[in-house]
């Protein structure tokens, strides 16, 4: 498979970043062997996902959505490094949507992005008041919060001339969504690494689709990124997603590598071995000897 620059998509990414030409966000990274392995793994897996799902249109502009959590920081750093290496021929615009949550440290992200000379846009929209007004405190805010946030991000992407919004969902987010749909939604579905929005004018991309959450956590901590916790949905107990995460953690502890095997299954689907007649013609399936048009059939 060839990547967007015409080179082997899975060749080594080269030497560790070094020198004065480094993007500011990559400077000061730990010099230990374990961190270098971690960083290279994240860059390789991000590049693999970008290539595998055909995410890049050379010269396009991407709106990179930055929440202030470990995942979006890792996403931003990985994309900037790929861009710096000449492996990601797109323009990046970081964007944070300040949703008006009480106590949200509104200066952290603007100061971080400005200090690293990263092009960005900060948008303030008080969706918090709307969410808390419409959703009882005993219910999860996630669905409405996500819908309102996504609508604003689509609008910003259009205003900024972006082809895609880019999200920091990783492999574990995709698996958890699959399990939630399986247990509670009655369908086999997850977060696709690439999709077109309902209006058909924007792409939604998840370049960290192959990256483990634990790697995002280790990377963000090692880089000392100023993490902003989500105090909206994260403060509610008993969320179904938290229960699924705990279940996957238990499986992983008993059988290390279980998550990776499960993710591989999402890339290796056999419709003929499931039960959806809209995906496979079960009604038309019959052994050749049972063909009623065959005169030799008893």
pLDDT digits (tens, 9 = 90+) for 249-296: 999 999 999 999 999 999 999 999 999 999 999 999 999 865 555 555
Expressed in angstroms, the distance from the first to the final Cα of the chain is: 50
Q: What is the pLDDT of residue 133?
A: 73
d(C-alpha 240, C-alpha 137), whole Å? 15
State CA 174 to chain mean position distance. 8
CB 133 within 8 A of CB 94: no
pTM score of the predicted model: 0.86
Kindly report the length of the chain. 298
Q: What is the pLDDT of residue 131?
A: 75
Q: Which residues pair with 204 in a beta bridge?
A: 165, 195
Q: What is the pLDDT of residue 3?
A: 44
State CA 231 to chain mean position distance. 20
State CA 117 to chain mean position distance. 24
CB 111 within 8 A of CB 83: no
Chunked into runs of 10 residues, the chain (298 residues) has average pLDDT values of 41 56 90 94 98 96 95 97 96 90 86 96 83 70 75 94 97 95 94 95 97 97 90 56 92 96 96 95 86 54
Q: What is the pLDDT of residue 148?
A: 80
Q: What is the pLDDT of residue 235?
A: 45
Helix (H, G, I), strand (E, B) or coil at 92: strand
User: Counting beta carbons within 10 angstroms of the beta carbon of residue 180, is it exposed (0 to 12), middle (13 to 18) or buried (19 or more)?
Assistant: middle
Q: What is the pLDDT of residue 237?
A: 43
d(C-alpha 44, C-alpha 81), whole Å? 11
């Amino acid at each position: 498979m060839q990547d967007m620059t015409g080179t082997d998509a899975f060749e080594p990414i080269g030497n560790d970043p070094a020198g004065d030409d480094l993007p500011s966000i990559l400077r000061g990274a730990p010099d230990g062997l374990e961190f270098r392995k971690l960083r290279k793994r994240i860059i390789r897996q991000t590049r693999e996902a970008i290539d595998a799902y055909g995410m890049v249109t050379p010269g396009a502009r991407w709106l990179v959505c930055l929440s202030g959590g470990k995942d979006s920081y890792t996403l931003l750093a990985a994309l900037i490094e790929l861009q710096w290496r000449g492996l990601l021929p797109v323009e990046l615009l970081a964007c944070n949507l300040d949703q008006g949550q009480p106590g949200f440290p509104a200066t952290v992200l603007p100061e971080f992005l400005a200090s690293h000379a990263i092009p960005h846009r900060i948008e303030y929209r008080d969706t918090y008041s709307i969410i808390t007004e419409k959703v009882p405190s005993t219910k999860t805010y996630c669905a409405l919060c996500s819908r309102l946030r996504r609508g604003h991000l689509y609008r910003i992407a259009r205003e900024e001339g972006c082809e895609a919004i880019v999200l920091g969902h990783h492999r574990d987010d995709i698996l958890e969504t699959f399990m939630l749909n399986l247990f509670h939604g009655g369908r086999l579905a997850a977060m696709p690494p690439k999709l077109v929005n309902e209006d058909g004018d924007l792409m939604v991309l998840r370049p960290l689709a192959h990256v483990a959450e634990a790697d995002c956590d280790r990377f963000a901590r090692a880089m000392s990124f100023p993490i902003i916790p989500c105090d909206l949905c994260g403060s509610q107990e008993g969320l179904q997603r938290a229960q699924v995460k705990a279940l996957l953690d238990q499986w992983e502890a008993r059988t290390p590598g279980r998550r990776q095997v499960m993710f591989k299954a999402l890339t290796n689907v056999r419709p003929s071995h499931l039960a959806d007649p809209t995906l496979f013609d079960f009604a038309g399936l019959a052994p050749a000897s049972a063909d009623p048009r065959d005169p030799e059939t008893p």
